[in-house]
Every structure is written in structure tokens, then in C-alpha cells.
Chains A and B, each alone.
Chain A
Amino acid sequence: MALLQLSEPGESTAPHQHRLAVGIDLGTTNSLVATVRHSIPECLPDEAGRRLLPSVVRYLKGGLTVVGVDALAAESTDPRNTIASVKRLMGRGPADTDPGMRARYDLTDAAGMVRINTVAGPRSPVEISSEILKVLRARAEETLGGDLVGAVITVPAYFDDAQRQATKDAARLAGLNVLRLLNEPTAAAIAYGLDEAAEGIYAVFDLGGGTFDFSVLRLSRGVFEVMATSGDSALGGDDFDEVLAQWLHKQAAGADLDCGANRALLSEARRVKEALTTEASVIARVPQLGGGVRTVDVTVETFQSLTRTLVERCLQPVKKALRDAALKVADIQAVVLVGGATRMPHVRAAVKAYFGREPFIDIDPDKVVAIGAAVQANVLAGNRRADEDWLLLDVIPLSLGLETMGGLVEKIVPRNATIPVAKAQEFTTFKDGQTAMSIHVVQGERELVSDCRSLARFELRDIPPMVAGAARIRVTFQIDADGLLSVSAREQGTGVESTVTVKPSYGLSDDEVANMLKAGFEHATDDMKARALREQKVDAERLIEATRQALAEDADLLSLAEAQRIDAAIAALATAREGTEHLVIKASIEALSAATADFAARRMDKAIRTALTGSRVDSL
């Protein structure tokens, strides 16, 4: 054991102050967790030394779960309870469920999102994803020897609001504090850009297991600015497996397969696909109904011609993003390949042919996203080094619109707008005394509501009753730095704040997530309960300390009554902290946070104004 822990040069925080944070790549096929230790980002292995965790969850009778390699091994023996590629169902409603997934599992169309029926009962894609995240969280906490302050979770850049929200909910269920949802190609760009101190315009071609993203970024003096992003959230390596599996089945001329044999066929197709990366031909062992196999010889040429249309499909989003960014192929300085599916030689060849240059593959395409996420998580957790000065400016992938008369869409925020972004729009009532109205928000580029994806219906209530057309309700649509939408409304004449309730078209409601969290806690072991108590006590301590310091610095920003309210809330939390009920402490933390919210906002505003004035003095 080292008695002396030496701090890295330039590292501002002493080792004991280093806040543990991780980046998680929650992939369709594999997931990874990475962190920055001693200034170096690295993917964390499990006890057997494996870094990739297969994104497969198996449910056992009684509710126990197996995740990863062991689950994958049961794919063909217990196919209905062994869920792979669940990312394809995240934030998806009954109408847009992937047909392959529908064939493979026993799905129920529930309100909002489909459920998969397993031996342990119906499970939402959010719950299944949270099982993967829980394993990665445990791996990180065991390896790093402490509780995580937070995680950056990556999502395909082309994920819409519902898919992002579902990912965030899954992280919450896994007990992770989400510091940021980060777009996968952007994460890769961070990993490359910081590594090479690059400048110029870069393209990231990210073909994963189930999703395809293409992003164009400008790197300049430490700023990563996404210029345009595009993609296909239902195109990935899985689709290559599927095409090959169908062809193999036809070649072997067998009878229709049952569920288990089908899964065995798919995994054989994946093996053959991967082997064809280096071999000119591979003997496939095609499973037959009722056992046995037939062999089929697959050449690289056959595989490539079978999947040529899939490769061509990747080029459409590439052209679209370049057009959106008003760039030509020649403007791109380098192309980075990300995602396991970019190992296929014909994918690489297509990228090379289109851009007329050899793509970058210096960082392992399986790991690069998790590495970039870890670097971002480290900075967001507050471990920024003094010399580490970079900033990320990302965009929304799809336009945001409102339903207007006749089922048409009025675009309010265009795709590729830099986030955070807001748009205010004024509405009026059309009936005398009308106190409520509904606003339908959609995402997509098409003109008809029916061709776009429904995000949510927002019900505005408590509009002051007036004659028709007199009310002027200003509705603000805010997209935050995670790419998530929130809506607020205010009547302009009276200043009355309307209540906005969201009915998400897809996904889980807040109540559902809260119930799942509660149910999870009821089944928790004493260990976990003790840990929750410990966490709340630490949080309480931290909040009291921070509040006292803020009061010492900026008491002049508060009225006497406000100061008294805050003092009372501090006293209440100090008392609750001595108890053993974690929920009581949690409630008192929330009460103090609420009492200090305005104060914190004012302090922040003051700090920003001072900082902006300071930069003016610097520049003179």
C-alpha cells in the first residue's frame, strides 16, 4: 500500500477531494463504464478483466436478474426471458416498435411504451436498461472504492426527446445522478480532439449495434462546436446480422425456426459477420429446427453484396448533415470511425470512398465513446484541472414543432440549433371564459403532424377567464443541455402563471418512475438502506455547509423574512440529520433547497454578471 499519494502536476484537487464520476456508454450490443484516474481516462474491467458488458439481461423466476456474458450464454436456451438490444425499444410506442424485436419477444402494448413479458413479470425497456446500468455502477463503485457523485450517459445523437427521457429515467432507476446526457459522436470527438489537440472541421461516423449517427464538428481553441448532426436511430450492426441470418436460413432450406433456434441463428450470423472482417470466407453452422446444423459457406463478397443497401443507407444522413452545415466533402479535415460495426471492411471502404481519405481509427471504436463520456463526467463533477479549459456546444438533432390547424406542423426550433435553446410563442383563447387549452408538440422534419413523432401534449390550465381572444398566453419551450424539452406558460396581461401538465406520448410518467424507485427500495437489503441513510447524511452536511457559506458571502441579496425562512430550514435539516430515517432527511434537504432556490439563483446571476464584466476588463 502506498503511504504517500502524489498529486499529478497541474491537478487542482487533492486526491481525497477527487469526486468520483463515470462515463457510461449504454450501447445496443455492449455497454461500458469509464473514468478518469490520475488524469488518464480508462474503461473499467470486471473481475474477469472484461471491459465490454454485453447489453443482455436475463430474468429468472422470482425476479433475480443476470446481466452480461452469462445472460448472453442463455440466449438460445431461454430466449423469451433473455433480452438483448433493448435500446431499440427505448422511448418507443406500440406503433413504432422494431419488427425484429416484436418477433423475438412477448411484447405487450402498454400506454406510452411497450412492455416485455418475462418470467418475472412485465418489464419496461427503461427497467431492463437500468439493470445494465446497475451492474456498471456497482463495477465502478467497487473498483474506485466509493460512491459516485454522478455519471454522463451517452445517447445516439439522433435520439429524440422520448428516447433521451427514457435513458435518463433508466439511470435514475439505477440510482445514478445524471450529470449530462451526451451525444455519442460528440463523446468520440472529445476523446479524439483532446487527445490530438486537434483544430478544424471533423466528421464522426458512428455505426453502432442499433443506431447510426453522423456529426460534423468544428474544433477551435478548445471549443467543440457541433455544426450539424444527422442519422438513423434504427440502423446498426444488428441489421447486418438480420440480413445475413435470413439469407443463411434460406440457403440451408430448413423449416421455420422456433424462438430459441432463431436466436442461435442470429448469434451465428453475428459470429460470421465478425469473422469476415479478417477472413475471405467462413463456414456458417446454421441451426435447424429440432437440433442439428447445416453448414453454409459465406464469402466476403456474398456478405457485402447482401448488405450493400444498408451501407448505402448510411450515406443519406451524411449528405444531409453536410448540406445542413453548408459544407463540402473537401472541407472535412478528418473522419473518425466509431462503433463496432465500422470494423466491417465494406463500411470503411464506403466512408473512405465518399470522403476521399483514410478514416481515423486510432482509438478502439468500441471504447472511444465511453472514454469521451468519462472525460466530460470528470469535468462536470468539478474535477476540472486548472489547465483544462474546453467547452462543448451541442445541437438538437430534430426540429421541434407545434400542431396547427388541419394537422400541419409549425416549426418553432429548427434542427441543429445549439442547445440550450428556447422559443416563446403567444397563444390566445377562442371561447369566452376559456381556462384551459392543449398544445401538441412534435419532433421531425415533415409538414404533417402524422408524419412527425408525437412528443407530448401539454395541458395549460388556470388561464384567467376572459372574452375570447383577449388572453395572451406566452408559452416558452425550453430545450436544456441534455436535449430535453420543458414547457412553461404565463398569461401576459395578468402575469398569471398557468399550470402545465405533460402527457408524454411515449415513455413513463414521473409517477411511474417514482413508483418503480419506491418498489425497488422496499426490496432493498439492509445494506442498501444503510447506504441510503449514509448518503443522505453526507448530502445534508454538504448542503448546510454550502448554505452557511453563501449566507456569509451574500446576505445582502436577501430580505429579512427570506433569511429567517432559510435559517429555520437549516435548523430543521440539522435536526433531521441526527435521526435514522433517510426519507425524513431527504424531505428536509428538499425543503432547504426550495427555501434557498431564489437566493441561489440571485447569487448565480450576480456571479455571471461579474464574470462577464470581468472578461470585458480583460479584453481592454
Chain B
Amino acid sequence: MQDYFSLFQLPEKFALQTASLESAYRGVQAQVHPDRFAHRSEAERRVAMQWATHANEAYRALRNPVERARYLLKRRGVEIDAERNTAMSHAFLMQQMAWREAVEESAGKADLLSRLEQDLQRDEGVMLDDLQHALDDSNDLAGSAELVRRLMFMEKLRSEIDDALALLDN
């Protein structure tokens, strides 16, 4: 199977237009989707399913910026081992603790949680810009890896806030 970027005929870069990814994905699925081969033999349908599965996986990975960065780093020989490697800067660790406290203090208050979520999103935006520079311009692998780990923490925190908001919704 082809790597994700070649599959969609996109340049192997972090910077990516969502619209071109979407249209490339649809173009590939239009060629490989099992629905195009439903009347064919089982062996042929299986191959179509494998290609469609690959296209879905590639699309999922490239659509999410953090996943995309992890994939690019992996292609450049850097595996993000988020669980073991927690070597993050002291400042970021302090920031993490502050956010965690803020989430705990906002528990049960939808307006506070929403505001916190917006703050996180804004900070993530800045970090994503840095990540694009580190990956596409300076090829700073160690710096990119650190940014990816931070962003993974942010995503996790944001999904916790989402869950808390969902509970309040019901």
C-alpha cells in the first residue's frame, strides 16, 4: 500500500489545504470503494475493501493536524512515544497543572468550561503555527516532537472538557 501523501497525490508537508485533501480522498474512494465492485467476486471485493480501508485510515490521519505531524515525524524516523517520553519543559508542566486546576474548578459550570475550551483552542492554534514552521521550514525534529506531545495533552484535556459539557447537556 502507498504512503498517505502519495495515495492522495499531495506534497509531503505539514501545511495542507483541507479542501484539496477532501477532494483527493473522494477521488480515491470513487475508484476503490467496495460499492463499485459489489457484483464482483469475493477476492476482488476483498481487495477493494483493503484499498478503501487504507484510504479511510490515510484520510483520518492527515485530516487531524496532530496525527498528521506524528505521521510526518514517523516518516522521518521519529516515533512519538507519548506514554514514556514525558520530557516536556518545566514551563509547560506548570501550565498543564494550571489548566487541570481550572478544569476542576469549572466542573459543573457550562459557561466556564466553554470559555476554557476556547482558550485552549486559541493556544493550540499558536502551537500548530509553530509546528508548521518546525516541520516544513526548519526540519526541527526534536522541537516538532515536543510540540506534538504538548498538543496531544491539549487534545486530551479538551476532550475531557467536551465530555463534561456533554454530561451537563443531558
State in angstroms the CA–CA spacing of A387 and B146 once bound together. 50
Of chain B, the residue at the smallest CB distance from A149 is B39
A380 within 8 A of partner (CB): yes
Contact A598 B33 (CB under 8 A): no
Interface residues of B in 9-55 (CB under 8 A from A): 9, 26-35, 37-44, 46-49, 51-53
Picked from A319, A389, A420, A597, the residue with its CB within 8 Å of the CB of B52 is: A420
Nearest-neighbour CB distance to chain B for A89, whole angstroms, equals: 29
For residue B44, which residues in chain A have a CB less than 8 angstroms away from its CB? 600-601, 603-604
Picked from B9, B27, B49, B166, the residue with its CB within 8 Å of the CB of A480 is: B49
A616 within 8 A of partner (CB): yes
B60 within 8 A of partner (CB): yes
When A323-B162, A480-B49, A604-B44 are in contact, do A19 and B39 touch as well, CB less than 8 Å?
Answer: yes
State in angstroms the CA–CA spacing of A481 and B52 once bound together. 9
Contact A421 B53 (CB under 8 A): yes
Picked from A319, A382, A480, A608, the residue with its CB within 8 Å of the CB of B39 is: A382
When A149-B39, A604-B43 are in contact, do A319 and B170 touch as well, CB less than 8 Å?
Answer: yes
B57 within 8 A of partner (CB): yes
Give the residue among B28, B37, B39, B51 with the most A Cβ atoms within 10 A. B39
When A316-B170, A319-B169, A616-B9 are in contact, do A391 and B43 touch as well, CB less than 8 Å?
Answer: no
When A417-B60, A418-B56 are in contact, do A392 and B41 touch as well, CB less than 8 Å?
Answer: no
When A391-B33, A421-B56, A422-B53 are in contact, do A380 and B38 touch as well, CB less than 8 Å?
Answer: yes
Contact B51 A379 (CB under 8 A): no
When A179-B38, A481-B34, A612-B31 are in contact, do A601 and B46 touch as well, CB less than 8 Å?
Answer: yes
Contact A323 B43 (CB under 8 A): no
Of chain B, the residue at the smallest CB distance from A599 is B43
Contact B37 A604 (CB under 8 A): yes
State in angstroms the CA–CA spacing of A323 and B167 once bound together. 12
Contact A598 B43 (CB under 8 A): yes
Contact B170 A593 (CB under 8 A): no
When A380-B39, A601-B43, A601-B44 are in contact, do A480 and B170 touch as well, CB less than 8 Å?
Answer: no
Contact A478 B169 (CB under 8 A): no
Contact A393 B29 (CB under 8 A): yes
A74 within 8 A of partner (CB): no
Nearest-neighbour CB distance to chain A for B18, whole angstroms, equals: 13
Contact A420 B43 (CB under 8 A): no
State in angstroms the CA–CA spacing of A611 and B47 once bound together. 14
For residue B7, which residues in chain A have a CB less than 8 angstroms away from its CB? 612
State in angstroms the CA–CA spacing of A393 and B170 once bound together. 29
Picked from A180, A422, A596, A619, the residue with its CB within 8 Å of the CB of B38 is: A180
Interface residues of A in 383-424 (CB under 8 A from B): 389, 391-393, 417-422
Of chain B, the residue at the smallest CB distance from A422 is B53
Contact B9 A478 (CB under 8 A): no
Contact A223 B26 (CB under 8 A): yes
Nearest-neighbour CB distance to chain B for A100, whole angstroms, equals: 26
Of chain B, the residue at the smallest CB distance from A322 is B169
**Residues of B that sit less than 8 Å from A by CB:** 7, 9, 26-35, 37-44, 46-49, 51-53, 56-57, 59-60, 162, 166, 169-170
Q: Could you give 8 example pairs across A and B, Cβ below 8 Å?
A: A150-B39, A179-B39, A323-B169, A478-B53, A481-B34, A599-B43, A600-B44, A604-B40
